[in-house]
């Protein structure tokens, strides 16, 4: 007898191609940004602050979000379809999902990148060639490691907000942990709490999943 796919199976099937696509796009942004930074460093003026290399924090985040916002909206709409919504999310709900994912991207990908670039500049102390060597190593690390480690969380955040937005207000929903992965201590408490009305917080204070980086929980309709 064929095994019925779970909601987690469906989420993984929906998100895997999106994650592959967004990873490729973000690595391209990183490569373009690295080229811009190295071109700046080739000039004669000694670089002594990161603002000479990359835009301010908000604009820096926006550079990455702009490249993948359509994919993040796609993740949110896939989530809505998964829980039975037959129409796409309202633009405001899709935008809210993108914003939530953008916050994760900013905290776990862009902010650490900026910190490392700042360290490169400080350690280089105006030696542009030395800064350039350090910068190449940082961008190589982000392209080969950090994007692949953190992007799942970014895309799952958009998906989780799409799930929540798809429910009619006050729909009884439950938090379910993905048993194929290590359970979240936060959402273990929420699972035990039973159903809440969609939009209301669970005992941990979270109204949607995932609750944190690495969380693989889902909100689902309560089974009657």
Give the pLDDT score at 186: 67
Per-residue pLDDT of the chain (224 residues; tens, 9 = 90+): 456 789 999 999 999 999 999 999 999 999 999 999 999 999 889 999 999 999 999 999 999 999 999 999 999 999 999 988 888 999 999 999 999 999 999 999 999 999 999 999 999 999 999 999 999 999 999 999 999 999 999 999 999 999 999 999 889 999 888 877 766 776 677 777 789 999 999 888 889 999 888 888 899 999 86
Lateral strand order in the sheet of 196-197: 196-197, 172-176, 218-221
Question: Which residues lie below 8 Å from residue 66, measured CB to CB, with a gap of 6+?
Answer: none
Give the pLDDT score at 54: 97
Determine the straight-line distance between the first and last CA of the chain, rounded to whole angstroms. Answer: 25
Two tokens, residue 62: 């926006």
E runs forming strands in 13-113: none
Give the pLDDT score at 192: 76
Compute the C-alpha angle 169/173/174, nearest 5°: 155
Give the pLDDT score at 14: 97
């Amino acid at each position: 007898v064929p095994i019925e796919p779970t909601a987690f199976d469906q989420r993984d099937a929906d998100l895997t191609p999106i994650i592959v696509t967004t990873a490729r796009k973000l690595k391209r942004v990183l490569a373009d940004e690295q080229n811009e930074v190295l071109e700046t460093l080739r000039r004669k003026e000694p670089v002594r602050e990161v603002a000479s290399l990359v835009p301010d924090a908000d604009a820096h985040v926006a550079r990455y979000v702009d490249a993948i916002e359509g994919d993040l909206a796609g993740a949110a709409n896939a989530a809505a379809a998964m829980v039975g919504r037959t129409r796409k999310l309202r633009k405001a709900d899709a935008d809210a999902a993108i914003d939530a994912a953008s916050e994760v991207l900013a905290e776990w990908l862009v902010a650490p990148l900026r910190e490392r670039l700042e360290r490169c500049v400080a350690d280089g102390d105006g030696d542009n060639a030395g800064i350039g060597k350090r910068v190449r190593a940082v961008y190589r690390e982000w392209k080969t490691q950090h994007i692949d480690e953190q992007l799942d969380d970014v895309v799952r955040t958009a998906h989780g907000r799409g799930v929540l937005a798809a429910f009619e207000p006050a729909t009884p929903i439950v938090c379910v942990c993905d048993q194929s992965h290590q359970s979240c201590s936060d959402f273990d408490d929420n699972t035990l709490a039973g159903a809440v009305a969609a939009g209301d917080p669970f005992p941990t204070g979270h109204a949607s999943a995932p609750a944190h980086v690495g969380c693989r929980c889902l909100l689902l309709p309560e089974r009657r």
